[in-house]
Amino acid sequence: MEIPEGTLWRFAVALYGQPGVADDCLALQDRYGAAVTVILWLAWAWAEARPVPVGEARGDLLARIGAWRAVATDPLRAVRRAMKPHEDDLPLGAEARAAVKAAELACERAELALLEAGTGSSGRTFATLEEAVAAARATLPQDGGGAEDLLRRIFVAAAHAR
């Protein structure tokens, strides 16, 4: 089954390609345990003034993303990273690692499709940049300081990714 290329997917690809955004996203992922797809979703919602679910509805949506990440996205990422130092040891090692990377990306596309589907006419739009950044920061499993600056840069870039 083909995963649809929704509006969020196109936005996420454009935003991720902005200077510094990929590095900031990876820093959030590696230092703070961020789900980059959730950060990109919230940045999209803010930049496009789209309402996001609140309360239990948002919690349920994020729980579904977390469950998927735990069984699919995160294990594939761990395998891909573990393969990197060894990819040249086998004749087709680089190709095998590229296939794992493609599967990881497909899992992230599935996450974005679910997040986009969960963004509807009900919910709440973010009134300010600070409100959007605070919502993103609240999704971080770990926050030892410094995450807010990374998030702010991503959200500012989001305004130009449209």
Q: What is the mean pLDDT of each run of 10 residues along the chain (162 residues)?
A: 70 94 96 95 94 91 96 96 89 92 96 92 86 94 85 94 70
- Domain-by-domain residue ranges, the chain? 7-158
Q: Output the pLDDT for position 1.
A: 42
Extract the tokens encoding 38. Answer: 């959730």
Q: Output the pLDDT for position 132.
A: 95
- Contact of 115 with 8, CB cutoff 8 Å: yes
What sign for the dihedral angle of Cα 81, 78, 114, 143? Answer: negative
pTM here is 0.91
Of the candidates 35, 6, 22, the residue with the CA atom closest to the CA atom of residue 119 = 6
